[in-house]
């Protein structure tokens, strides 16, 4: 298989990798709009370059959207700091306690139980675990809802902190990965991402058939996609 390579179009770096796939896939990834192309193993560099040039207007549009997207302020995990859970803002209450740091809702309040000497990394780890738990509590019902509708079966759902995607689908293994940050967003956004990834079990690319599937099963999916992409993203220097 050919080695990865890079080239530029209109001053924009494009990173190309070769995979065992049938079609060329183009992605523009947050937060800075890094451009990546996955191509079948025998695709010539010139073919890939011409493909990228044909998509230049779309690439510029997507990069502009990401670069203008609002960022969450850095989090220090301190008393009365605001955090979002399922699209709603909550003020954090800090409670000193022995044991591993943990985050929970208590009497409708978001509480971080933590040792007095716990550093920011330990507090962030507790929040990451909390968001993963929140997502797992909802995603099972969504998978069960859409499996009989689509006529597919998801083998495994993996929830993790992802840097460049809200979700991904491995159609061969029937595994779906979801970004734990979805637990910060409105529940409708999660359902859109779940349906999007499950639809890839029927159609792995974003072609006309895929769009038709989304139109058939979720009439407002474009609204939810736009809503998700307009919401603030995590404040960090993601890989690009």
In a domain, 33, yes or no: yes
40 contacts 84 by C-beta, under 8 angstroms: no
Q: Do residues 221 and 126 share a domain?
A: yes
Q: Do residues 160 and 131 share a domain?
A: yes
Q: Please provide residue 142's backbone torsions phi and psi, each rounded to the nearest 5 degrees.
A: -70, -40
Tens-binned pLDDT, residue by residue, of the chain (240 aa): 678 899 999 999 999 999 888 889 898 876 678 899 999 988 999 999 999 999 999 999 888 877 766 566 678 888 999 999 999 999 999 999 988 899 999 888 899 999 988 898 899 999 999 999 999 999 999 999 999 999 999 999 999 988 768 999 988 899 999 999 999 999 999 999 999 999 999 998 888 999 999 999 999 999 998 888 775 555 333 332
- SS3 for 178? strand
In a domain, 235, yes or no: no
In a domain, 238, yes or no: no
212 contacts 150 by C-beta, under 8 angstroms: no
Q: Do residues 46 and 94 share a domain?
A: no
Q: What is the torsional sign of CA 231, 165, 76, 133?
A: positive
In a domain, 24, yes or no: yes
Q: Which domain holds residue 9?
A: 5-63
Q: Tell me how far apart the alpha carbons of residues 119 and 218 are, in angstroms, rounded to a whole number.
A: 43
Q: Do residues 47 and 109 share a domain?
A: no
State the pTM of this model. Answer: 0.72
In a domain, 164, yes or no: yes
In a domain, 74, yes or no: no
22 contacts 40 by C-beta, under 8 angstroms: yes
In a domain, 214, yes or no: yes
pLDDT at residue number 72? 65
In a domain, 71, yes or no: no
pLDDT at residue number 236? 39
Domain at 97, CATH number: 3.30.2010.10
Number of domains, the chain: 2
Q: Do residues 90 and 207 share a domain?
A: yes
| 127, two tokens | 């929040």
Q: Do residues 16 and 99 share a domain?
A: no
């Amino acid at each position: 298989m050919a080695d990865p390579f890079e080239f530029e179009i209109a001053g924009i770096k494009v990173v190309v990798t070769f995979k065992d796939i049938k079609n060329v896939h183009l992605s523009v990834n947050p937060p800075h709009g890094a451009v990546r192309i996955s191509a079948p193993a025998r695709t010539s560099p010139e073919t890939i370059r011409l493909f990228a040039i044909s998509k230049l207007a779309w690439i510029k549009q997507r990069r502009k959207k990401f670069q203008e997207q609002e960022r969450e302020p850095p989090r220090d995990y301190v008393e009365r700091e605001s955090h979002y859970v399922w699209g709603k803002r909550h003020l954090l209450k800090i409670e000193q306690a022995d044991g591993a740091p943990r985050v929970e809702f208590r009497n409708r309040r978001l509480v971080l139980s933590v040792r007095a000497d716990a550093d920011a990394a330990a507090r962030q780890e507790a929040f990451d675990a909390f968001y993963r738990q929140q997502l797992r509590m909802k995603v099972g019902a969504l998978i069960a809802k859409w499996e009989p509708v689509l006529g597919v079966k998801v083998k495994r759902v993996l929830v993790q902190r992802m840097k460049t995607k809200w979700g991904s689908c491995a159609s061969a293994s029937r595994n779906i990965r979801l970004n734990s940050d979805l637990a910060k967003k409105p529940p409708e956004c999660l359902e859109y991402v779940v349906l999007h990834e499950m639809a890839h079990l029927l159609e792995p690319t974003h072609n006309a058939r895929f769009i038709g599937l989304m139109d058939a099963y979720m009439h407002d999916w474009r609204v939810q996609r736009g809503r998700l992409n307009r919401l603030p993203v995590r404040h960090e220097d993601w890989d690009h």
